[in-house]
Structure 1
Amino acid sequence: MISRRGRRCGAFMGGKDKREYFEGWYLKHQKGSKTISFIPSYHVEKDGRISILIQVITEKNAWEFQFLPSQYYGDRKRFYCQIGENVFCEKGIRVNLKSKEAEIQGVLRYGSLTPPSGDIMGPLSYFTMECNHGILSLSHKIHGSLLINGERYNLNGGCGYIEKDWGTSFPEGYVWTQCSVFDKGHMAFTAAVAKVPAGRWKFSGCIAIVYYGGRQYRLASYLGARIFRWNSGEFMICQGRDLLWVQYPWKGGQSLRSPVKGRMSGKIQEALSCKIRYRFWRKGKLLLDVTADNGSLEVVNPGCFSSIPT
């Protein structure tokens, strides 16, 4: 996917000239009850120190693996990230991760990626944002398996999702969700609502894509979408006669590190596989009503949501 800045959003954008900067990819793999995500990332602190991290999250566990800056390579023309023996790219991943807590090895190959029809940030990609967001694939097939602490994760025939974030820090408060569903026809949901800083002010922004029947339906603040309900258990996005209503019983999840001015000093929680209900009305008519048991969810600082109209 080519961004409005003329580069693939998956390509590495960092460098020695960056300060208080982070760049990370999120690669999710799912088949039935088995779900695992890898988060390779690159960070530069204010004093110029660089750190490299791979975080791994499953339904019940989360681990992190640290690397030296010399072990990192990121391609500036395409999505290709190599950290030590580990490779993450458009064609798949190869991992060989070892620590006192976990050992993860294996190769996963990807089918054709499904990028969004245009930059998910829209005109916001022209501005310097605290956190930029990109989606490389809404859905793609997976072939292969992983060995995780001696347990075989057979992901052959499963589904994948890839996104990317880069900038200085994650938003002050946000909800993010992603889910792929197969039992009622192939469909995928990805949506986020967030407190977005804009100079001295902050506004509530949203982006969402519903992928169904080979079509993509997008709702976004820059297209006129508004957030009409947002709390720790649900959010609702309305754009003209289109409406996306997401409900979730948030109970917390696995702990992950997050960027704060480039440094991975923040903490967030992600529930990688939980029950989420998605309802989508298209032009006033209910198109989808799906309750999934394998949705992924992050809810950060719900206290800042109170200023959102309901």
Structure 2
Amino acid sequence: MNSWYKLHHPEIFQGTLTEKNYFEGWYFKIVDNESENVLAFIPTIAINKNSNIYMSFIQIFDGINLDVFIVEYPIETFKSSRSKFEIKIGPNYFSTNRIKLNIEREDIKIFGTLNFKNLTPLPKSFLFPGAMGIFTYLPFMETYHGIISMNHKINGKLIYQDTELNFKESSKGYIEKDWGKGFPKAWIWMQSNHFFENQRSFMLSIAKIPYLGINFIGFLCFVWDREKFYKFTTYSRANLKSLRATKKRVGIIIENSKNILIINAHAGDAAILKAPTLGLMTSRDEESMSAIIKLRLYRKTQDQALKLIFDDTGFNSGLEVMNPQDLK
């Protein structure tokens, strides 16, 4: 399948297993209908030819118990479809609509199938084939980012550490991905689709981005609110008006030509996940899946006043803050 097709389908495997320094990982967030089980499954490949590292693994994050497991498989067991998002790592299967897990090790056991429906992908066009918009077409970016579904329903069962977990119709999921050479040196990432308004989801990513010898602060922010999308991004000329951040608290004001979004996030308990640098999983990423995110979205009026669209709070939220002092 040619590279043009891949650019317009960022959910599928973007790389090859012959890359010099490369990683690609998909992030599946899974929350049951009672919010008693908050899990993330992160199937990943990581390659560094100089170190003769060829890794294929699944990182599992239990956001309630703060357990992190990394289950490795031979790189030869990684298989991907060339025309749609389907990958296999060992006996495990991941796609847009389903995951099947078959993991048994002394410290971790997970078996079962989860089905996804009513997915909420971002709107696409020729100029904006994915979350990164026109930046999708730029070569040599350190990291590329894609959003597969802002919100969807989950149905199925998992056996997790000998306990049966039931995911009914009101269970929720979120899927995104990253690929490239490695994560940036400084970033903030947050996400929630558990607001008081059921048909609402939010994600934001701010990073210090190196490109062709320069560094700039780039950001992506999307709000899905009852079938309507609001976009605040560097490439759409949105403005990051205010940023205050520590490892535990983040306050942001961001605006586009029509709207202003005020964000306040407070981290919950966190765990350490592995993150890529030049294809090596040697970096560390502290993530909370019990953060609280408060959003206020306003519409600008013709008389320069602001009209409140919604004021809501997200729970079971993901939050990562890495070197926030470098984002100023």
Residue 160 of structure 2 corresponds to residue 145 of structure 1? no
2:309 counterpart residue number: 287
Which deviates further from its counterpart, 232-241 or 288-297?
232-241
Q: 1:120 aligns with which of 118, 122, 131?
A: 131
Q: 1:35 aligns with which of 31, 38, 56?
A: 38
Matches within 5 A, 1:148-297: 148-157=160-169, 158-181=171-194, 183-230=196-243, 231-232=245-246, 233-234=249-250, 235-250=252-267, 253-283=270-300, 284-297=306-319
What is the CA–CA distance in structure 2 between the aligned matches of 1:191 and 1:276, rounded to whole Å?
11
Distance change (3 Å), C-alpha of 1:252 and 1:174: farther
Cα deviations by residue, 1:251-298 (Å, 9 ceiling, x for unpaired): 551111000011111110111122221222233322121122211111
Residue type of the alignment partner of 1:40: P
Residue type of the alignment partner of 2:78: Y
Q: TM-score, normalised by structure 2?
A: 0.88
Distance change (3 Å), C-alpha of 1:105 and 1:3: farther
| Identity value in percent | 30
SS in 2 for 1:156: strand
What is the CA–CA distance in structure 2 between the aligned matches of 1:274 and 1:16, rounded to whole Å?
36
Distance change (3 Å), C-alpha of 1:117 and 1:53: same
2:320 counterpart residue number: 298
SS in 1 for 2:110: strand
What is the CA–CA distance in structure 2 between the aligned matches of 1:6 and 1:55, rounded to whole Å?
26
Tell me how far 1:6 sits from its aligned partner: 4.2
Residue type of the alignment partner of 2:275: S
Residue type of the alignment partner of 2:101: V
Any conservation in 2 of the 1:3–1:9 contact (CA below 8 Å)? no
RMSD (Å), alpha carbons: 1.8
SS in 2 for 1:70: helix
What is the CA–CA distance in structure 2 between the aligned matches of 1:7 and 1:51, rounded to whole Å?
26
Tell me how far 1:218 sits from its aligned partner: 0.8
Any conservation in 2 of the 1:5–1:125 contact (CA below 8 Å)? no
Distance change (3 Å), C-alpha of 1:67 and 1:280: same
Any conservation in 2 of the 1:86–1:95 contact (CA below 8 Å)? yes
1:55 counterpart residue number: 59
Residue 115 of structure 2 corresponds to residue 109 of structure 1? yes
Which deviates further from its counterpart, 176-185 or 133-142?
176-185
What is the CA–CA distance in structure 1 between the aligned matches of 2:292 and 2:271, rounded to whole Å?
15
What is the CA–CA distance in structure 1 between the aligned matches of 2:269 and 2:198, rounded to whole Å?
29
Any conservation in 1 of the 2:187–2:323 contact (CA below 8 Å)? yes
Which deviates further from its counterpart, 234-243 or 36-45?
234-243
SS in 1 for 2:135: helix
What is the CA–CA distance in structure 2 between the aligned matches of 1:252 and 1:150, rounded to whole Å?
25
1:25 counterpart residue number: 26
SS in 1 for 2:134: helix
5+ residue gaps, structure 2: 125-129, 301-305
Distance change (3 Å), C-alpha of 1:88 and 1:5: closer
Tell me how far 1:153 sits from its aligned partner: 2.3
What is the CA–CA distance in structure 2 between the aligned matches of 1:246 and 1:154, rounded to whole Å?
33
What is the CA–CA distance in structure 1 between the aligned matches of 2:201 and 2:5, rounded to whole Å?
24
